[in-house]
């Protein structure tokens, strides 16, 4: 079965050797790679547990959480379109997740109380360290498509990491101006000295975008441009220079037009697979309180993608 509904939760362990303990919710959810990411990790850690998909209708996230906990689920991942609704259904929310405006990881305590986390931002910081051997907080960053959920999570993490420059790029500035004000309020004054000098916004069609990219060290694409093989780069790719690090949050295809062109200009590049793995690993660490087997998680996802 590709997924269960909340009305089928009493059937999740029928004919199974291991009980379902962890799950991902979404709508749709059949395409989610989370089981391929987490089940190999659970098996490697000798956990007597299965990871399943549960499709949940919009407006029923809180009900789903209650029924899933009653069915024996101990931890949940949340994907689109439920990340905001999940935040509202939590009894407690991690401050960073609250700043990101969404949660993607739920941890139940013994009484069924729900704490929400967002592992996208911290997972991205881990991915940058793995891919480029440098700390996110040391880089001048420009985020293309900052108005989406991934863009906001990454931008929030960049503020928390105290990046020396954060440029938010979006097709419409109205969508990110409010977010910028939220980012400026993050943290303590002593850790955010001169934040208005470090965080700025620019429209995707602004003539100053080329100069902004040239002044950056890490270029991050969080738009959906590149999902199709015929997609162009989200901006003229000849603007990429050898000193740039280019990270595309898309991982399938493995090389988008942006990454192919950036490589041709001698820039170092990486795709979103490392983000997928590390955000998932952080979820597992919240649930189990032990290190996640990254190599097993990567192997499970790659086998599925290449298969």
The pLDDT tens digits for 55-103 are 999 999 999 999 999 999 999 999 999 999 999 999 999 999 998 999 9
Element of type H or E holding 170: strand 165-170
The residue ranking higher by pLDDT, 181 or 287, is: 287
Tell me which residues are annotated as active site. 83
Sheet holding 199-203, edge to edge: 199-203, 165-170, 140-144, 218-221, 245-248, 268-271
Residue range 179-186: mean pLDDT, rounded: 85
What's the predicted TM-score (pTM) here? Answer: 0.94
- Determine the Cα angle at 119 with ends 151 and 154, to 5°: 20
CATH superfamily of 121-271: NAD(P)-binding Rossmann-like Domain (3.40.50.720)
Does 186 have pLDDT greater than 90? no
Residues in a beta bridge with 54: 4, 25
Are both 4-118+276-306 and 121-271 of the same fold?
A: yes
pLDDT at 36: 96
Q: How far apart are CA 154 and CA 175, in angstroms?
A: 16
Q: Are 75 and 22 in contact (CB under 8 A)?
A: yes
Instruction: Report the topology of domain 4-118+276-306.
Output: Rossmann fold (3.40.50)
Domain-wise residue ranges, the chain = 4-118+276-306, 121-271
* Mean pLDDT, rounded, for 226-250: 95
Confidence check: pLDDT of 194 > 90: no
DSSP state of 20: E
């Amino acid at each position: 079965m590709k997924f269960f509904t909340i009305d089928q939760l009493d059937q999740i362990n029928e004919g199974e050797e291991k009980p379902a303990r962890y799950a991902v919710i979404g709508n749709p959810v059949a395409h989610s790679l989370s089981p391929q990411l987490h089940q190999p990790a659970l098996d490697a850690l000798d956990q007597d547990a299965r990871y399943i998909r549960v499709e949940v209708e919009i407006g029923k996230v809180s009900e789903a959480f209650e029924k899933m906990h009653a069915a024996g689920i101990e931890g949940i991942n949340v994907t689109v379109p439920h990340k905001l609704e999940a935040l509202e259904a939590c009894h407690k929310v991690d401050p960073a997740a609250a700043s990101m405006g969404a949660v993607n990881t739920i941890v139940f305590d013994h009484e069924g109380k729900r704490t929400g986390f967002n592992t996208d931002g911290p997972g991205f910081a881990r991915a940058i360290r793995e891919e480029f051997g440098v700390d996110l907080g040391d880089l001048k960053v420009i985020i293309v498509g900052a108005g989406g959920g991934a863009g906001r999570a990454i931008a929030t993490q960049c503020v928390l990491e105290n990046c020396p420059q954060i440029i938010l790029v979006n097709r419409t500035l109205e969508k990110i101006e409010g977010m910028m004000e939220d980012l400026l309020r993050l943290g303590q004054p002593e850790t955010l000295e001169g934040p208005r000098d470090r965080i700025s916004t620019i429209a995707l069609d602004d003539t100053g975008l080329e100069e902004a990219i040239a002044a950056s060290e890490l270029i991050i694409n969080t738009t959906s441009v590149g999902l199709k093989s015929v997609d162009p780069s989200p901006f003229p790719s000849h603007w990429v220079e050898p000193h740039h690090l280019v990270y595309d949050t898309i991982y399938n295809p493995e090389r988008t037009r942006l990454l192919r062109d950036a490589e041709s200009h001698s820039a170092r590049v990486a795709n979103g697979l490392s983000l997928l793995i590390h955000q998932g690993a952080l979820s597992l660490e919240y649930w189990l309180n032990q290190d996640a087997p990254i190599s097993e998680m990567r192997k499970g996802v790659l086998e599925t993608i290449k298969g």
